[in-house]
Amino acid sequence: MIKDFEKRDKNGLTEEEFLENYRKKNYPRPYLTADIVLFDPKADKILLIKRKGHPFLGRYALPGGFACQDESIEETAKRELREETSVKISELFPVGLYSKPGRDPRGWVVSQAFLAFADSSEIEISAGDDADGAAWFDILYDGDAPAFVKLGETGEKLSLKDSLSFDHGEILTDALKKAKHIRKDKEYV
């Protein structure tokens, strides 16, 4: 029986020989990020950060950022949430993978979005890293669909369709739909 490492492909190469000649540069690679929707279902609030740098300087966004090679995407999500808001979470629920061309002006950026639950009255938030601020926003609905978020302190109102950075309005809408299904199965917070 031929062992896997001895098998030869159509070009007569073993796996080891193939890997020696493999040219990663022949295949474009996206940047990988994680975005987190931290949702308080009791108060109908979500946590947003204000961006400290470009792109979308000064606009609100979901906490998140770029993955490191030595961590899973779930670890990226938890690390970015902690770095940008000082919030630590243990349980994440996948929302979806977002890869639409042009979703990020920095280039080909693919993001795995996650949903997490928390009680906003029991969490102390503090902006850090590349966040210029972090705050809880009330969710405002148009019928059954989330349409806006509003900062409780100032009443600042943001459209999910066009006020948030990147495609975060779309991610937030998808996450809130998912939250309804998760809450039917389990009671969180």
12 CB-near residues (< 8 Å, 6+ apart): none
When the pLDDT of each residue in the chain is averaged and rounded to a whole number, the result is 89
Model confidence, pTM: 0.85
Find out whether the peptide bond into 55 is cis, omega within 30 degrees of 0: yes
Q: What is the pLDDT of residues 48-107, one digit of tens each?
A: 999 999 999 999 999 999 999 999 999 999 999 999 999 999 999 999 999 999 999 999
**Ramachandran region, residue 103 (left: φ > 0; alpha: ψ -120 to 50; beta: rest):** alpha
Instruction: Assign 3 a pLDDT band (cuts: 50, 70, 90).
Output: low
- Classified as helix, coil or strand, 122 is helix
Q: Is the pLDDT of residue 1 over 60?
A: no
Predicted confidence (pLDDT) at residue 151 exceeds the cutoff of 70: yes
pLDDT at 128: 84
Give the percent of the chain with pLDDT over 70: 93
Measured in degrees and rounded to the nearest 5, phi and psi for residue 138 equal -75, 145
Q: Which DSSP string corresponds to 11-68?
A: TS--HHHHHHH--GGGS---EEEEEEEEEETTTTEEEEEEE-SSSSTT-EE-SEEEPP
Question: Each residue of 101-126: pLDDT tens digit?
Answer: 999 999 999 999 999 999 999 999 98
> What is the predicted pLDDT for the residue at 8?
87
